[in-house]
């Protein structure tokens, strides 16, 4: 569904992503794991066209999307839930969600999606009229994911959904990610919490300083000694 | 929705008629002498222009520091139309359309390269543009003698009476309000708040910046076109840096993101300046810059969000739809 080939991304002279390739197949949850500064967010930002790559090609459903504008990418159903949530603090929860459906014209469908989001996140329903900026961190994360769902994503790019959340809320969010996937949305998940990410993902790629250093199905990676030592906090 | 909105529209229309009747009454009884009626017209013209900057800067977050230049383009181009074709109502309306169109067109051409960059670049570009326009007006007589150059342009038929100015002011308020409350307006506010957020929900950022900029400058052009037909003397210095600052102060003082604030402050600002001019006499010109600086400092210290914050009132407040409940906030 999504193919990334030989992607290199620079910030000025700094190379953040070096010649990486990976793919996400329809129906999968794929995770990119790696330490701080490994280039995970940069990769997602490049896919959603917020930044331009120096080299490489990105195709989505056999269409080259490397040179599209961000809003055109959204139009294809490739939806990015960015790091740090980026919800609009001055808009109510409901208005933030409505923004997520910005490109949709099917009024009835939008209302239906809104009901679905509220059913999945009852806390958002309770806070419908509250300003986004006054939500707790966890609620903001739910709102960010909910806003992504309002666009009817074919592929959802999630950047560190567990950032700043308590262990219980982290479990909750990952459970929700699992159900979103089971309902038919393909997911590319970026995480520092490798333990949780490898629980929900089918396959994983490990990034180190801008390169893919390892990849495979989650089970295999979970059992790998190097992964256990470096990312799962075990003493080798 | 229909009922609540309808009621507000009725109240607004009633208010407009009441204000009109009041002004006429005060004028007839002599409470408002021709001098203050002139200032009132100026305040309404200022309101039209300031609403334009309010949409560009307050609503959409695009910093423009050359608003008076667009006002000037509207004034000169509209003035040229009636100066050459005469001041009958039809030509006058043609002149207003020309002024508004020219300002909008120039904004579009500036926006094409500049609005792809961040808002800071628009500030720099419009600052430079303001200076160029002033120099252009100063020397315009070398190309078009009718424009008068540095000595100013005269001979424009003075056909813009209170009625015309009032009608166009109300029209501008309604247009700005409808834009801000539409989905397009929400997109502009979203990109002001967070460009990444706007990008990831599929808002074409460039297009909405352009919409706001062209709309706002068109209003500035319309205001300038009215001005040219109300004040018999157009001088390049009326459209340079300091008048641009006037517009900025009005938007910031009224509250970024509040059309209500812009309208009230624009009217108040013109009367305040005129009052100061009366009190201080000729020294006013010297103290003007100091007064601006003091006012801005006071606002930043006492009420940073401006007089109205980002709140809207009455007709300008967003419609609360039934389905969305009664307690929805009135944030802009
Ligand atoms: N806007 C920027 N300008 C310059 N360098 C940047 C910019 N954004 C990221 N970088 C650099 O690019 C590299 C990769 O950053 P990126 O945000 O992709 O990392 P990450 O894997 O998402 O890390 P984290 O887990 O901490 O979010 C880092 O070295 C970072 O300092
Ligand atoms: Mg990151």
What percent of chain B clears pLDDT 90, i.e. is strictly above it?
A: 68
pLDDT of residue B40: 95
Residue A126 has pLDDT above 90, yes or no: yes
Distance CA B81, CA B88 (A): 11
Choose the closest CB to B196 out of A50, A131, A147.
Answer: A50
pLDDT band at B332 (very low <50, low <70, confident <90, very high): very low
Backbone angles phi, psi at A183, to 5 degrees: -80, 5
**Closest approach of chain B CAs to the CA of A105, in angstroms?**
12
Contact assignment for A102 to B202 by CB distance below 8 Å: yes
Q: Quick check: helix, strand or coil at residue A33?
A: strand
Query: In the β-sheet with A63-64, what is the strand arrangement from edge to edge?
Result: A14-24, A2-11, A55-60, A63-64
Q: How many beta carbons lie within 10 A of that of residue B139, not counting itself?
A: 13
Record: contact A86-B197, CB cut-off 8 A: yes
Chain B interface disruption, residue of A41, A71, A92, most B CBs within 10 A: A71
pLDDT for res B323: 45
User: Which tens digits make up the pLDDT trace of A166-188?
Assistant: 889 899 999 999 999 999 999 99
Neighbour count for residue B269 (Cβ, 10 Å):
21
Q: Confidence band (pLDDT; 50, 70, 90) for B139?
A: very high
Residue A89: how many CA atoms within 13 Å on its side-chain side? Answer: 8
Query: What ipTM is given for this predicted complex?
Result: 0.91
Quote the mean pLDDT of chain B.
90
Mutate to test the pocket of ligand 1, among A42, A45, A213 (most ligand atoms within 8 A of CB): A42
- Distance (Å, whole) CA A66 – CA B94: 47
Three-state secondary-structure class, residue B152: coil
Domain extents for chain B?
A: 33-331
**pLDDT of res. B106:** 97
Q: Give the span between the Cα atoms of B99 and B222, in whole angstroms.
A: 6
Provide the residues around ligand 2 (an ion) whose CB is within 5 A. A 41, 83
Q: What is the mean pLDDT of residues B101-119?
A: 94
In angstroms, the CA B251 to CA B59 distance is 10
C-alpha pair distances (Å), A176 with each of A149, A156, A183, A222, B115: 12, 13, 11, 21, 39
Please count the CA atoms within 13 angstroms of the CA of A70 that sit on its side-chain side. 24
Tell me the CA end-to-end span of chain A in Å, nearest whole number. Answer: 36
pLDDT for res B328: 40
Q: How many CB pairs under 8 A join A and B?
A: 73
Tell me the per-residue pLDDT of B267-325, one tens digit each, with 9 for 90 and over. Answer: 999 998 888 888 888 887 778 778 888 887 888 888 878 888 888 887 888 765 544 44
Q: How far apart are CA A221 and CA A228, in angstroms?
A: 8
- Mutate which of A8, A32, A37 for ligand 1? The one with the most ligand atoms within 8 Å of its CB, which is A37
Phi and psi at residue A7, in whole multiples of 5°?
A: -80, 130
Q: What is the CA radius of gyration of chain B?
A: 20
Query: Is A56 an interface residue toward B (CB < 8 Å)?
Result: no
The architecture that CATH gives domain B33-331 is Orthogonal Bundle (1.10)
CB contact under 8 A, A87 and B197: yes
Is the pLDDT at A58 greater than 60? The verdict is yes
pLDDT of residue B149: 87
Which DSSP string corresponds to B13-80?
A: HHHHHHHHHHHHHHHHTTSS-HHHHHHHHHHHHHHHHHHHHIIIIIIT----S-HHHHHHHHHHHHHH
Inter-CA distances, B234 with A91, B43, B146, B207, Å: 43, 17, 11, 34
Please tell me if the CB atom of residue A37 comes closer than 6 angstroms to any atom of ligand 1: yes
Q: How many of the other CB atoms lie within 10 Å of CB of A169? A: 17
Write down the pLDDT at residue A227: 81
Selecting from B190, B199, B310 the residue whose C-beta is nearest the C-beta of A70 gives: B199
Output the pLDDT for position B242: 86
Nearest to B70 by CA among B87, B92, B48: B48
**Is B329 a residue whose pLDDT tops 60?**
no
CA dihedral A45, A51, A55, A57 (to 10 degrees): 50
- Per-residue model confidence as pLDDT tens digits over A183-233: 999 999 999 888 899 999 999 999 999 999 999 999 998 888 888 877 776
Whether the CB-CB separation of A82 and A89 falls below 8 Å is answered with no
Tell me what pLDDT residue B125 has. Answer: 94
Separation of CA B318 from chain center: 21
pLDDT tens per residue across span B155-188: 999 999 999 999 999 999 999 999 999 999 999 9
Whether B329 sits inside 8 A of A87 (CB atoms) is no
Percentage of residues of chain B with pLDDT beyond 70: 95
Find out whether B70 and B57 touch, Cβ atoms under 8 Å. Answer: no
Which residues have a Cβ under 8 Å from the Cβ of A126 and sit 6 or more positions away? Answer: none
- pLDDT at position B4: 64
The model's pTM: 0.91
Helix (H, G, I), strand (E, B) or coil at A220: helix
Report the DSSP beta bridge partners of residue A147: none
């Amino acid at each position: 569904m999504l193919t990334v080939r030989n992607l290199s991304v620079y910030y000025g002279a700094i190379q953040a992503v070096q010649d990486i390739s990976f793919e996400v197949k329809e129906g999968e949850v794929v995770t990119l794991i790696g330490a701080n500064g490994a280039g995970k967010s940069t990769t997602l930002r490049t896919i959603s066209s917020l930044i331009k790559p120096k080299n490489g090609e990105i195709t989505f459903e056999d269409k080259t999307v490397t040179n599209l504008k961000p809003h055109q990418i959204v139009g294809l159903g490739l939806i990015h839930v960015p790091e740090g949530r980026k919800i609009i603090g001055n808009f109510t929860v409901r208005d933030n969600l409505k923004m997520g459906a910005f490109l949709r014209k099917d009024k009835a469908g939008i209302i239906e999606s809104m009901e679905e989001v509220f059913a999945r996140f009852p806390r958002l329903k309770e806070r419908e009229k509250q300003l986004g900026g006054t939500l707790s961190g966890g609620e903001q994360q739910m709102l960010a994911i909910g806003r992504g769902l309002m666009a009817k994503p074919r592929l959802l790019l999630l950047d560190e959904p567990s950032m700043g959340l308590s262990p219980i809320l982290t479990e909750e969010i990952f459970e929700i990610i699992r159900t979103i996937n089971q309902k038919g949305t393909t997911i590319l998940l970026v995480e520092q919490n490798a333990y949780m990410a490898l629980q929900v993902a089918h396959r994983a790629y490990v990034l180190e300083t801008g390169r893919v250093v390892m990849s495979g199905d989650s089970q295999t990676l979970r059992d790998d000694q190097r992964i256990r030592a470096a990312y799962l906090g075990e003493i080798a | 929705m229909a009922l609540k909105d309808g009621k507000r529209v009725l109240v607004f229309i009633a208010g407009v008629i009441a204000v009109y009747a009041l002004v006429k009454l005060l004028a007839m009884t002599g409470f408002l002498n021709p001098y203050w009626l002139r200032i009132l017209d100026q305040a309404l013209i200022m309101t039209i222009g300031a609403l334009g900057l309010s949409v560009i800067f307050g609503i959409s977050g695009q910093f423009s520091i050359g608003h008076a230049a667009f006002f000037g383009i509207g004034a000169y181009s509209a003035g040229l139309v009636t100066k050459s074709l005469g001041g009958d109502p039809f030509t006058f309306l043609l002149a207003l359309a020309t002024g508004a169109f020219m300002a909008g067109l120039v904004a579009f051409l500036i926006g094409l390269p500049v609005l792809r960059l961040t808002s800071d670049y628009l500030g720099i570009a419009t600052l430079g543009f303001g200076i160029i326009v002033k120099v252009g007006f100063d020397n315009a007589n070398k190309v078009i003698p009718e424009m008068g150059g540095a000595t100013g342009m005269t001979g424009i038929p003075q056909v813009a009476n209170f009625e015309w100015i009032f009608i166009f002011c109300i029209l501008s308020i309604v247009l700005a309000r409808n834009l801000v409350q539409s989905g397009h307006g929400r997109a502009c506010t979203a990109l002001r708040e967070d460009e990444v957020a706007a990008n990831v929900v599929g808002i074409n950022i460039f297009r909405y910046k352009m919409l706001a900029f062209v709309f706002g400058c068109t209003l500035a052009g319309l205001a300038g076109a009215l001005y040219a037909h109300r004040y018999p003397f157009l001088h390049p210095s009326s459209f340079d840096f300091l008048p641009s600052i006037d517009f900025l102060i009005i938007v910031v003082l009224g509250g970024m993101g509040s059309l209500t604030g812009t309208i009230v402050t624009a009217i108040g600002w013109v009367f305040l300046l005129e009052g100061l001019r009366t009190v201080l006499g000729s020294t006013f010109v010297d103290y003007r810059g100091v007064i601006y600086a003091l006012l801005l400092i006071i606002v930043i210290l006492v009420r940073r969000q401006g007089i109205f914050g980002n709140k809207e009132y009455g007709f300008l407040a967003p419609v609360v739809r039934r389905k969305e409940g009664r307690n929805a906030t009135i944030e802009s």
